[in-house]
Amino acid sequence: MDHLPVEVVGNILSRLRGARDVVIASATCRKWREACRKHLQTLSFNSADWPFYRDLTTHRLEILITQTIFQTTGLQGLSIMMDDANKFSAATVIAWLMYTRDTLRRLSYNVRTTPNVNILDICGRQKLESLVLAHNSITGVEPTFQRFPCLKSLSLSYVSISALDLNLLLSACPMIEALELVSLEIAMSDAQVTIELSSPTLKSVYFDGISLDKFILEADSIEFLHMKDCVLELFELIGNGTLKHFKLDDVSVITLDIMETSESLEVVDVNHFTMVWPKFYQMISRSQKLRKLRLWDVVFDDDDEIIDLESIAAGFTQLTHLSLSYDLKDGAAHYSLQGNTLLENVTVLELGWTVINDVFSIWVEELLRRCPNLKKLIIYGVVSETKTQGDCQILATFTWSIVQLMRKYIHVEVQFEYE
């Protein structure tokens, strides 16, 4: 260790999880103190990492953080994530940011202050590449002054912001590639809440806990879109057909339109979603490169509606991974299996049930027949805590039928996942 260059020691210390560990390590010797002072790149204060933070008074905590930050030079990454137990002095927090902003590349900031600190004013026009902002408010965005020329990743969680300011903030980031919006508090100017965002450079977008009337996103370079726990009347994605990965997780949306960007889709992952299958299929049918299709716990608007396996087999010939789980009804399940087109490239098949019955066994058998090159089958099921003798008999019969069935497909690996 004595022969390691001091720059390398600084690099090692930068990979420690928390500021407390850095301070302890820096006390090892004079060389390590120098590494911490001159070559430390990253520093993190997180109340979740060290519960002792919660035992300190706010004033003592401010002094501790101030002393640690001011002993460094050239920090590139700073994370200050404190829970709502403390409200810091705005002047102190501004001093932290002003001291580090010239060299800072990554900032994660969840600090409640009195009064509110305007991060955009302090860190705008600097070299910041990643900004994670939580439990804060943003008002009166000025794209000319509060500009982020190098910012590639922006995350806003539990932030209060108007639809206009959000669009202006995005326009102030000409290099942005990743956007994450979680449980935003959208300031309403009228009865209908509408957000229109536009960015030619965005590649990855994640929305969580967003409730709006209309959301229109124009992103010419988007490749990844994930929406979770959102309630929307209308969502429209406008682009140039670059979207590769599309995921919906427990989303309620009346009108969903991604058709214009769907031709390059490789992964479609839908979970806990109510759909009209013909419309949904039409929306993704242009994606001839689709490799993975997951339709899990989907519900149909019409009780007689089904997922047409023939249209999947014929429309997505490059499919290698298929996952299906929905309520199987006797007549509808048989209808969904009509046709003879094989899923020749499918090597992984995931099937699930909510209520086990004889139809599920038939469904599994037919899907195995349609996948001649299958290598792995995973069956997911729900087993209730309280089981009658009849329930146990049904489960036993199903298990026996699967064992008998798999004797015909000894080359296929089988897994069971019960919850």
- The answer to the question of residue 317 being in a domain is yes
Q: Which domain holds residue 406?
A: 300-418
Task: Enumerate helices (H) and strands (E) in the chain, giving the number of each.
Answer: 12, 22
Nearest one of 216, 180, 221 to 201, comparing CA atoms: 221
- The answer to the question of residue 143 being in a domain is no
- The answer to the question of residue 332 being in a domain is yes
| Cβ 320 vs Cβ 292: under 8 Å | yes
- The answer to the question of residue 385 being in a domain is yes
Per residue, what are the HEC states of 91-140?
Answer: HHHHHHHHHHCCCCCEEEEECCEECCCCHHHHHCCCCCCEEEEECCECCC
- The answer to the question of residue 201 being in a domain is no
What's the pLDDT score for residue 135?
92
pLDDT tens for residues 281-322?
A: 999 998 989 999 999 988 887 766 777 888 899 999 999 999
| Cβ 185 vs Cβ 158: under 8 Å | yes
Q: Which residues of the chain carry a pLDDT beneath 50?
A: 334-335
- The answer to the question of residue 412 being in a domain is yes
- The answer to the question of residue 290 being in a domain is no
What kind and span of H or E run contains 243?
none
The total number of structural domains in the chain stands at 1
What's the pLDDT score for residue 190?
58
Q: Residue 283 has which token pair?
A: 């929306």
| Cβ 280 vs Cβ 307: under 8 Å | no
pLDDT tens for residues 336-391?
A: 677 788 999 999 999 987 777 777 888 888 899 999 999 999 999 877 776 778 77
What's the pLDDT score for residue 412?
93
- The answer to the question of residue 124 being in a domain is no
| Cβ 94 vs Cβ 122: under 8 Å | yes
What's the pLDDT score for residue 225?
98
What CA–CA distance (Å, rounded) separates 48 from 54?
9
Length of the chain, please?
419
Torsion (CA) 132, 134, 140, 142 in degrees, nearest 10: 0
Q: Is the pTM of this model over 0.75?
A: yes
